[in-house]
Amino acid sequence: MIITRGARMLKETSIHKNQIILQTAYFDLKQTFECGQCFRWNKVGQGHYIGLVKDKVLEMYQEGQEISFYNTDEKDFKDIWVDYFDLNRNYEELIEEISKEKVMKAATEYGKGIRILCQDEWETLISFIISANNNIPRIKKILESFSKLFGQKISYKGEEYYAFPTLESLQGITEKDLEEIKSGYRAKYIIDAVQKVNEGQVDLYNLKNLETEEARKELLKIKGIGPKVADCILLFSMRKYNCYPIDVWIRKITEKVYFKRESTPKEIQKFAQDMWKDNAGFAQQYLFYYARNEF
């Protein structure tokens, strides 16, 4: 059965009673889940992950080029997972296109199994507000307790999981309500985001239809969202692949490799646009993963 258009990407997809198997190159669970774009996937074993997406618990297992989906069905695969995992994109072609020189060649070779997920806008917005000046274990911890506090409970294999809190469920919350998640000074940013999105000052779910610059300007209205966080939201939840989020790592490696001198975020952004055009976001992810693990 052919579920997706990317025939070269998805060599074969087979449906079983409670397992969907995907035969594919250019998809590595470890690389995809541990490259810093998402925070609610947890490793439970070698090549084995459990994650929360929307109101679902998805369990995945990879052995070589074979990836199995558990606790889901064909309908959700077509309606949700193809989109979420960007399965219709030909990553072989993409990598070929952006690997214009030695370093990007090395980076794409190193992280060729990375896929940029298409995550929920609201969850991504809050996640990256929390990510600012923070470390990954603590970001995950905060998001976990935030979900436990306000999210819907889901049971799976005798364990309890919590979906990410919906906007509606957060209406009217105060800084005090957030004390127990220990998000520190970011609590007031979360409150501001809840208010501005709920009141429609920021039309979050329409931003993907705007030009990148327009959408970024809207996101910057929310306290706690600066250029870097805005670009992460645009890239990881709205398919704005021309974004090149600039954090300390990307700044360092871009300067070292391409500038060979100090530079400014503005210069780096222009460079990335000229170099990789609408694929700048992919280039950023490969570089980031490469830089963090190899430098």
Residues in contact with DNA by CB under 7 A are 35-37, 131-138, 182-186, 222-230, 232, 245, 247-250, 264, 266, 284, 288
Nearer to DNA, 14 or 264 (CB): 264
CB of 78 to DNA, least distance (A): 28
Contact yes or no for 152/55 (Cβ under 8 A): yes
Name every residue whose Cβ is closer than 8 Å to that of residue 126 and which is 6 or more positions away in sequence. 143, 146, 164, 190, 193
Nearer to DNA, 22 or 233 (CB): 233
C-alpha 157: how far from its chain's center?
26
CB of 235 to DNA, least distance (A): 9
CB of 1 to DNA, least distance (A): 34
Nearer to DNA, 135 or 155 (CB): 135
Nearer to DNA, 134 or 195 (CB): 134
Q: Which two three-digit tokens encode residue 58?
A: 């998805």
CB of 72 to DNA, least distance (A): 25
Nearer to DNA, 20 or 222 (CB): 222
Nearer to DNA, 22 or 234 (CB): 234
Measured from the Cβ of residue 4, the count of other Cβ atoms closer than 10 Å reads 18
What are the φ and ψ backbone dihedral angles of 196, each rounded to 5 degrees? -65, -35
Across 96-187, where does the E strand assignment appear?
153-156, 159-162
Identify the residue whose tokens are 């994650």: 51
Q: Is 186 exposed, middle or buried (0-12, 13-18, 19+ CB in 10 A)?
A: buried
Stated length of the chain: 295
Would you report the helix, strand and coil content of the chain in percent, each value rounded to 5? 50, 15, 35
Question: How many Å apart are CA 40 and CA 33, to the nearest integer?
Answer: 9
CB of 14 to DNA, least distance (A): 32
Nearer to DNA, 47 or 227 (CB): 227
Question: How many Å apart are CA 64 and CA 43, to the nearest integer?
Answer: 17
Question: How many Å apart are CA 62 and CA 146, to the nearest integer?
Answer: 29
CB of 268 to DNA, least distance (A): 12
